[in-house]
Amino acid sequence: MRLNVNKLLHTPGAGQDFHFQLDLRELEFGGMHPISRPVAVDGRVENRAGVLTCSLQASTVLASVCDRCLDAFDEEKTVSYSCVLAEERQSEDNEDIVLLEHDEVDLSELARSAFILGMDTKTLCSPDCKGLCGGCGVNLNREACRCKKQIDPRLAALAKLLDKDGAAD
């Protein structure tokens, strides 16, 4: 979505709300496409004492997969972003400045970059996810490890032998 801010540029105090949906399904993160649902973008462009500011929030529910237990789960995700819109860059400004093109700002592009930057590099179903057992492969969030209980009798005999060897040392 592109917004023409020509009128706002020259009217201190003026503002305009915007709302649109963004399709980011094509974005790939770690070989997955977690942004499977539309991203809702809400925001406002405002002329504050001659400075044009843009602030937005983009949110969706991600189709995530836990890095640790490999469970699929829905994850609410909201990112916030704000910047100053200007016709030309002023070198001494530290603020995040987005340049206008023919008095237009590409809000979709802003929301898209904000969302990409806001994606977590690590995805966990919960901060204390116990993951999968490296031995029996159970999801330790739901089941107890079966490694000890389900040892094959032949392996148990072998384990005993190995234990004896160990004791001889």
DSSP 8-state secondary structure symbol assigned to residue 116: H
Residue 119 touching Zn ion (CB under 5 A): no
- Contact between 66 and 32 (Cβ < 8 Å): no
Task: List C-alpha distances in Å: 54 to 42, 87, 135, 152.
Answer: 11, 14, 52, 65
State how far the Cα of 19 lies from the Cα of 4, in Å rounded to an integer.
14
In this complex, which beta carbon is closest to Zn ion, that of residue 82 or of residue 141?
141
As measured in angstroms, the least distance from the Cβ of 76 to Zn ion is 16
**12 counts as binding Zn ion under rule CB under 5 A:** no
Note whether 65 binds Zn ion by CB under 5 A: no
136-155 footprint of Zn ion as x/- string (CB under 5 A): x--------x-x--------
Smallest distance, Zn ion to C-beta of residue 79, A: 22
* Cα separations in angstroms, 97 against 42, 53, 65, 82: 19, 9, 35, 9
Residues that bind Zn ion (CB under 5 A): 66, 68-69, 125, 129, 133, 135-136, 145, 147
